[in-house]
């Protein structure tokens, strides 16, 4: 891809967002979040500086969306723990990341990333003046990365993941290969990524240090707090927790739930708008929403005539990582769609077998978890029911799968400390 083609892409992307915004909620959020962004950011950073008593380093971390934020979060929190005076700016490209984490207390500033462009990049960096920039996993913006390099600001890639089908490794990928040279260091998830990078003529130093999400999910599991209402719903029944589900996932699960009332199902949809929740309720026969179940739990006498449900539909955001604790078996959604599965590590860290659909080949953790016996992939509802029933009936295989999932997450921790160690050793900032 040449720079003129890249510029055309930026123009068409921005134009497309404006054209579809009248009927597309995400496009509206994408545009609204960038309105007067430089004025708002400049004012907030200026006000923040007034309260400072000395030199406080500023770290800027960019994430495409929510998943990338969770990968970068352990590094930010490690830095803040070592130096509480550090100021932190987080930018998101996607509304699905920003809208969920815009009130994250671990950062001083949380914004959308302005649309890429030479002028925007210079203006943004003039305002922010970061001491260190962390780029999480992927989503490369040429003008921002070039401006960071031109200003000699240390730029690190966290939890990078490279595949042969990416543009870097195509004959037309010269511009993207150039972007990689703007980084000071690349921290990648596995040897396959490092091997691919070696085929390029010029790259910065590369370190294979794993995925920081292992540290994040381990921290979450280590500080687990019970959810009383979920405890009451599950009681002593076998429980299947299905997280980040789309309609395609729910259609693979509904027959199993409707024909096995003795099993409790907890469905946590990826989207919780009213239309999707109603559609989910239509698929499952005996359901209750979490918001309603809370009222039943607090005052059971007033709902004594209600049939005991076996499907609990989660109609809020932020609870999923704790829900997996209650599972006998877990299911992670996305594997029946084009984009692939969501975060399976949140489930595996509790030592529970993980099921998902057939679209998982871009996710190293899914491949490795399948290989060690902690996960199962299914092609259809019939295969899902058969495999889950087999696990519930075969105690030895179930125990082995649980142990494999737990061991896998425990053995892959440590990526965060490796990055923090690099920052300390090279004195990029004081931590």
- Read out DSSP for 322-378? HHGGG-SEEEES-TTSTT----SHHHHTTT--EEE-S--TT-HHHHHHHHHTSEEE-
User: Is 431 domain-assigned?
Assistant: no
> Cα–chain-centroid distance for residue 292?
28
Contact yes or no for 183/156 (Cβ under 8 A): yes
User: Is 256 domain-assigned?
Assistant: yes
Res 306: pLDDT? 57
Query: Is the same domain home to 130 and 270?
Result: no
Query: Is the same domain home to 407 and 418?
Result: no
**Token digits of residue 33:** 């979040």
CATH number assigned to the domain comprising residue 63: 3.40.50.11720
Structural domain of 394? 220-411
Which runs of E-coded beta strand occur in 236-317?
239-245, 264-269, 287-289, 311-313
CATH number assigned to the domain comprising residue 374: 3.40.50.2000
- The count of domains in the chain is 2
Res 286: pLDDT? 92
Mean pLDDT by 10 residues, the chain (431 residues): 91 92 90 93 84 76 92 94 93 91 92 96 96 94 97 96 92 94 95 94 92 93 93 94 96 96 96 92 94 84 67 92 96 93 95 96 92 96 96 96 97 94 92 78
Query: Is the same domain home to 49 and 186?
Result: yes
Entry pTM: 0.85
Query: Is the same domain home to 136 and 202?
Result: yes
User: Is 102 domain-assigned?
Assistant: yes
Query: Is the same domain home to 307 and 361?
Result: yes
Query: Is the same domain home to 148 and 187?
Result: yes
Query: Is the same domain home to 197 and 280?
Result: no
Inter-CA distances, 315 with 47, 250, 274, Å: 37, 15, 9
Contact yes or no for 183/168 (Cβ under 8 A): no
User: Is 215 domain-assigned?
Assistant: no
Reduced to 3 states (helix: H, G, I; strand: E, B; else coil), residue 132 is strand
User: Is 430 domain-assigned?
Assistant: no
Q: What is the C-alpha to C-alpha distance for residues 42 and 38, in angstroms, rounded to an integer? A: 6
Query: Is the same domain home to 397 and 257?
Result: yes
Residues 6 or more apart from 65 whose CB is under 8 A from it? 92, 93, 94, 96, 97
Query: Is the same domain home to 149 and 254?
Result: no
Query: Is the same domain home to 238 and 129?
Result: no
HSE-CB of 55 using CA atoms within 13 angstroms: 5
User: Is 294 domain-assigned?
Assistant: yes
């Amino acid at each position: 891809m040449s720079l003129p083609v890249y510029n055309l892409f930026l123009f068409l992307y921005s134009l497309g967002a404006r054209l579809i915004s009248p009927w597309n909620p995400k496009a509206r959020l994408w545009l609204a979040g960038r309105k007067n962004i430089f004025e708002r950011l400049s004012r907030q950073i200026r006000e923040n500086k007034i309260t400072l008593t000395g030199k406080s380093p500023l770290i800027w971390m960019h994430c495409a969306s929510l998943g990338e934020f969770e990968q970068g979060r352990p590094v930010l929190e490690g830095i803040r723990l070592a130096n509480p005076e550090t100021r932190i700016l987080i930018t998101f490209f996607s509304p699905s990341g920003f809208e969920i984490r815009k009130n994250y207390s671990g950062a001083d500033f949380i914004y959308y990333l302005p649309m890429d462009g030479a002028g925007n990049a210079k203006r943004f960096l003039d305002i922010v003046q970061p001491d260190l920039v962390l780029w999480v996993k992927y989503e490369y913006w040429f003008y921002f990365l070039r401006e960071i390099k031109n200003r000699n600001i240390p730029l690190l890639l966290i939890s990078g993941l490279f595949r042969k089908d990416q543009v870097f490794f195509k004959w037309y990928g010269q511009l993207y290969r150039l972007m990689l040279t703007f980084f000071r260091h690349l921290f990648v998830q596995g040897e396959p990524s490092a091997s691919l990078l070696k085929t390029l003529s010029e790259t910065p130093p590369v370190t294979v240090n794993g995925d920081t999400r292992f540290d994040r999910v381990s921290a979450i599991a280590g500080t687990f707090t019970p959810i009383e209402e979920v405890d009451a719903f599950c009681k002593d029944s076998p429980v299947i927790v299905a997280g980040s589900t789309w309609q395609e996932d729910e259609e693979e699960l509904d027959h199993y739930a409707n024909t096995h009332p003795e099993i409790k199902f907890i469905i946590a949809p990826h989207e919780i708008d009213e239309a999707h929740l109603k559609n989910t309720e239509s698929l499952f026969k005996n359901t209750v929403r979490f918001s309603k179940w809370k009222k039943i739990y607090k005052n059971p006498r007033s709902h004594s005539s209600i049939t005991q449900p076996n499907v609990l539909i989660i109609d809020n955001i932020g609870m999923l990582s704790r829900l997996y604790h209650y599972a006998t078996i877990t299911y992670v959604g996305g594997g029946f769609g084009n984009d692939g599965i969501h975060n399976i590590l949140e489930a595996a860290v509790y030592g529970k077998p993980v099921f998902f659909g057939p679209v998982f080949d871009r996710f190293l953790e899914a491949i490795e978890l399948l290989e060690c016996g902690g996960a199962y992939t299914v092609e259809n509802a019939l295969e899902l029911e058969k495999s889950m029933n087999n696990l519930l009936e075969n105690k030895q295989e179930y125990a082995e799968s649980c142990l494999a999932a737990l061991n896998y997450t425990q053995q892959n921790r440590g990526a965060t400390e490796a990055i923090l160690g690099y920052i300390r050793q090279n004195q990029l900032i004081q931590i």
